[in-house]
């Protein structure tokens, strides 16, 4: 790893990271505040909504609707949160390699006394830092302000939210980084990653109605992202650790190998 390159990378991305993090902090706080003023009205609203609509927003039919967990999964940690963190990680990953090549600046970086392996590992460290900051911005408001707004979660539940949220964010970012390492167009990694996430989200939402979608659930990353169940019951699927962890490791390993062997011109 090259410390100067890492600091330079983070400095270049600081404005984007700030606004993504600020957006998550504000979004999280608003959802916490909104829960405190909804009260029984939330449960009445849920009962009036079609089940299909709830599943579309939550991305899962496995959660018990009308609970605190379902509120956070539908209103915050479902589609809205995923769009924000996925966009942030895709932007970083695309600029990490593919955009540098497209802009013709990769050659300038590699001409400096920086080995390819140090370059790609440094960008991966930056990816991990990016994911960690977004994760803290996502859940710190719940941890800090939750009790003031009648949201009391055990410490273990909060810790699992941080851990699983970080892995989810890193999984998305790692896949986008893998594509970025193999492409010379800054737009393609984001387009492919975003499209794949949309397809997975739709398949997960219709899995209770469509046999094909149901059969694909084991390889769908949204199958394991169940923050509502975690908030309600304090448990996560054991598979989440090796599915997200394995996907991250494999994606980053492929990214390193591809980058070391590819033509950077």
Q: What is the pTM of this model?
A: 0.86
State mean pLDDT over 198-213. Answer: 79
State mean pLDDT over 96-111. Answer: 59
Provide the pLDDT for residue 120: 86
pLDDT surpasses 90 at 209: no
pLDDT surpasses 50 at 108: no
pLDDT surpasses 70 at 137: yes
Q: Is 29 helix (H, G, I), strand (E, B) or coil?
A: helix
262, containing H or E segment: none
CB 27 within 8 A of CB 80: yes
CB 72 within 8 A of CB 139: no
Q: Judge residue 112's burial from the number of C-beta atoms within 10 Å of its C-beta, 0-12 exposed, 13-18 middle, 19 or more buried.
A: exposed
Percentage of residues of the chain with pLDDT beyond 90: 37
State mean pLDDT over 198-218. Answer: 80
Structure tokens at 83: 């769009």
Q: How many domains does the chain have?
A: 1
Please give the residue range of the domain that contains residue 86: 3-261
State mean pLDDT over 155-177. Answer: 95
């Amino acid at each position: 790893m090259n410390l100067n390159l890492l600091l330079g990378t983070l400095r270049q991305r600081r404005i984007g990271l700030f606004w993504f993090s600020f957006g998550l902090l504000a979004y999280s706080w608003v959802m916490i505040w909104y829960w405190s003023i909804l009260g029984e009205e939330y449960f009445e609203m849920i009962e009036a909504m079609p089940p299909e609509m709830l599943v579309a927003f939550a991305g899962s039919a496995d959660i018990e609707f009308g609970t605190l967990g379902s509120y956070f999964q539908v209103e915050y940690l479902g589609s809205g949160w995923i769009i924000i963190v996925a966009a942030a990680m895709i932007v970083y990953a695309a600029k990490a390699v593919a955009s540098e090549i497209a802009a013709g600046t990769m050659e300038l970086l590699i001409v400096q006394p920086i080995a390819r392996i140090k370059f790609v590992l440094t960008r991966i460290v930056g990816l991990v830092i990016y994911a960690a900051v977004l994760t803290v911005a996502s859940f710190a408001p719940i941890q800090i302000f939750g009790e003031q707004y009648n949201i009391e979660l055990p410490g273990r539940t909060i810790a699992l939210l941080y851990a699983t949220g970080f892995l989810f964010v890193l999984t998305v970012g790692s896949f986008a980084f893998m594509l970025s390492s193999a492409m010379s167009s800054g737009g393609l990694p984001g387009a492919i990653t975003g499209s794949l996430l949309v397809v997975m989200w739709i398949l997960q939402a219709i899995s209770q109605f469509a046999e094909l979608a149901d059969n694909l659930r084991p390889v769908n990353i949204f199958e394991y992202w169940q923050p509502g169940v975690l908030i309600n019951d304090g448990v996560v699927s054991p598979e989440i650790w090796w599915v997200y962890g394995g996907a991250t490791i494999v994606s980053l390993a492929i990214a390193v190998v591809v980058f070391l062997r590819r033509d950077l011109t």
